[in-house]
Each structure stands twice: as structure tokens, then as C-alpha cells.
Amino acid sequence: MTLEIYETVDDIRAAVRRARTLGKTVAFVPTMGYLHEGHAALIRKAAELAPVVVVSVFVNPLQFGPQEDFDRYPRDIEHDKQVIEQSGGGILFFPSASVLTPPDLQITVDPGPWGSVLCGKSRIGHFRGVCTIVAKLFNIVNPDYAVFGWKDAQQLLIIKKMVNDLNFPIEIVGLETVREPDGLALSSRNTYLSADERERAPWLYKALSRARERALSGECVDVTTLRDDIVKTIAEKVNGIIDYVEIVRLSDLTPLHRVEIGNTMIAAAVFLGKTRLIDNVRF
Ligand code: PAF
């Protein structure tokens, strides 16, 4: 089946309506493009959930700060079309900035308190930008399901909360992070890493995984000790600048003093040269 491609709100709405009149359900994967195996896994999951799979590609200016990498964010729409087709996507929504973020846009979605912790502390306005664009996409695409990766755990949790609090009739499905064989989480931004940085980057996940193992085995459940150990490993092995390492409740992102098995997330962000790596473990 050839990929259907739509660039306007009216056209994508009409395509989804046609599918719905045939009684088909719709699963949606919103992306910023430069698709990799992690996105392919999200699209394959969407294809398991519904016969119609819509993927959007839109580099959302609202979620980038003024000093961030919006202009140099990698883009390759021809490659993206191939990944979407090969992974089971049937419809691509590829709007321009004037369609989704016209200059007179003034209403935005407040992400609530979860938007200003972890990544939200240093990326001011990031989650407002994410929620605003995802809410718009949900209203335009009108899916039954939307699939997001656990790599961006805070984003996934905030979107679930938004869908719950604002009564979007959509089921949010989370999919586990896809990793390179050495553990590095797949990310479009990995393309910024130099060869030397690429060698060191997997130590972020190794540090988080080791803390998870120590907590699960009962060897250490004290959050300060676990955190200090992670910070030490990152300083020695990743050799980047730590934005944050935090151990929080998965249920509400509040800080923990002792790990709560079943409700703990260790999340971290580290600058490695020009690349901001994020990762997390949950247990
Ligand atoms: O995870 C992403 O790629 C983006 O934050 C999203 C969800 C597509 C919104 O722009």
C-alpha cells in the first residue's frame, strides 16, 4: 500500500473520516521526523493496535528554547517516508509551520506542575510547547490510540495526564525505549555525537541500570547514596555536564528519599558536547 501524504488540516481530517466511515479505528504516532528504529517500533505498535496508522512529522518550534537546536534539528523527509511505509504506517501528516503554528497562535496548554520538574527545570516552556502541539494534533487527527516512547518518560506521563484531565477520548500507549546494543537509547539527536562522545554516551544508561540493580537487590535503597554513585559514574565515564539526576515517584514525579519498588523512576539529562542526552529507568 502506498503512503498517503497530507499537508493540510482539512485533508488529513477528510482521510481519517473516510477510514472511520468504513468502521476502522485509528492509531497515531506523533514525531519530529528523522525517524530511527525507536520510531519504527512505535509505528509497528500502532499497526498492532489499529488498521489505520497515522504518523505526523513536524519539528515543533514551540518546544524549543531560544538557545536550543531548532534550526539544526536533523530533517530527512524522504527517509522518514520509507521508515513509515516499512513499519506499517499508512498515512503521513506533514504540515508546515504556517499550518500548525501560525503567527497569531495565542492559546496554549499549561502542562501543570509536572512540566516544571526534571527536564522542565532547564527547558522552560518545553512541555507547554509539547502539550500545545500534541493537543492540536489530537484534535486534528482524532485517533483512538496514540503511541509514545518511554525514552521521553516525563513527556509520556504529562501527555497521559493531559488526556485524562482534558478528557481526550484517546488511549495513550507507552512503548519501552529502543537501545543500541551497547545500551545507548536511540534518539534523533545521537547524530550530533562525535565518535569519542558516542563511545562514552552508553555510560549514562549503565550508571542508571547499576543503580536500579542495587535498589532491586536491596543492596542500597537510599536515594542520596544511589544518586551520588550515578553522578560519580557519569562524571568519570560520560565526562559530560550533568543537567540533573533525580530519583522520583513514577506516579507524580515527586522526589523520593527511599526507593519505592514499583513506583520509582531514576531520570537523568547530561550534556555531552552539543548533545543533550536523556534517559531513565523505572522499577
Ligand atoms: O517526542 C517528540 O518527538 C515530540 O516531543 C512530539 C511528541 C512529536 C511533539 O512535538
Q: pLDDT band at 91, cuts 50/70/90?
A: very high
The C-alpha cell that represents 42 in the structure block: 512505535
Placement of cell 513514577 in the chain: 250
Strands (E), the chain: 4-6, 26-31, 52-57, 91-93, 145-149, 171-175, 241-249, 264-272, 275-282
Residue 125 shares a structural domain with residue 242 = no
CA of 59, closest atom in ligand 1: 10
Instruction: Decide if pLDDT at 37 tops 80.
Output: yes
What pLDDT digit, counting tens, does each position of 220-271 carry?
A: 999 999 999 999 999 999 999 999 999 999 999 999 999 999 999 999 999 9
Backbone angles phi, psi at 176, to 5 degrees: -60, 150
What pLDDT digit, counting tens, does each position of 48-70 carry?
A: 999 999 999 999 999 999 999 99
Please identify, among 144, 175, 206, the residue that sits at the C-terminal boundary of a domain: 175
Mean pLDDT of all residues in 166-188: 98
Q: Which is nearest to 28 in space by CA: 177, 109, 134? A: 134
Task: Judge whether 39 counts as a catalytic residue.
Answer: yes
Residue 198 shares a structural domain with residue 144 = no
CA of 32, closest atom in ligand 1: 3
- Whether 60 lines ligand 1, by a CB cut-off of 6 Å, is yes
Whether residue 58 is contained in a domain is answered as yes
- Spacing, Cα 152 to ligand 1 middle (Å): 9
The model carries a pTM of: 0.98
Q: Which is nearest to 105 in space by CA: 129, 80, 138, 82? A: 129
Please identify, among 175, 196, 215, the residue that sits at the C-terminal boundary of a domain: 175
Whether residue 283 is contained in a domain is answered as no
Q: Tell me, what CATH number does 214's domain have?
A: 3.30.1300.10
pLDDT at site 1: 75
Whether residue 183 is contained in a domain is answered as no
Residue 168 shares a structural domain with residue 193 = no
- Contact (CB, 8 A) for 130 and 152: no
Neighbours of 144 (CB within 10 A): 16
Whether residue 181 is contained in a domain is answered as no
User: Alpha-carbon distance 256 to 6, whole Å?
Assistant: 46
- Whether 130 lines ligand 1, by a CB cut-off of 6 Å, is yes
Structural domain total, the chain: 2
Query: What does the CA dihedral 47, 53, 58, 61 come to, rounded to 10 degrees?
Result: -80
Please identify, among 143, 175, 207, the residue that sits at the C-terminal boundary of a domain: 175
191, amino acid identity:
T
- Whether 30 lines ligand 1, by a CB cut-off of 6 Å, is yes
Residue 149 shares a structural domain with residue 224 = no
- Tell which one of 56, 60, 139 to mutate to probe ligand 1, the residue whose CB is within 8 A of the most ligand atoms: 60
The C-alpha cell that represents 111 in the structure block: 502542562
Residue 238 shares a structural domain with residue 121 = no
Whether residue 209 is contained in a domain is answered as yes
Residue 84 shares a structural domain with residue 203 = no
Residue 229 shares a structural domain with residue 95 = no
- Contact (CB, 8 A) for 134 and 9: no
Whether residue 269 is contained in a domain is answered as yes
Residue 123 shares a structural domain with residue 144 = yes
Residue 244's domain spans which residues? 188-277
The C-alpha cell that represents 149 in the structure block: 516512547
Residue 125 shares a structural domain with residue 250 = no
pLDDT at site 155: 98
pLDDT at site 272: 97
Whether residue 237 is contained in a domain is answered as yes
Average pLDDT across the chain, whole number? 98
Instruction: Decide if pLDDT at 26 tops 80.
Output: yes
- For 131, residues 6+ apart whose C-beta sits below 8 A from its C-beta are 108, 109, 110, 111, 115, 158, 159, 162
The C-alpha cell that represents 16 in the structure block: 481519517
Neighbours of 139 (CB within 10 A): 11
Report the chain's C-alpha Rg in angstroms: 19
pLDDT at site 210: 98
Say which of 39, 79, 126, 257 is annotated catalytic. 39
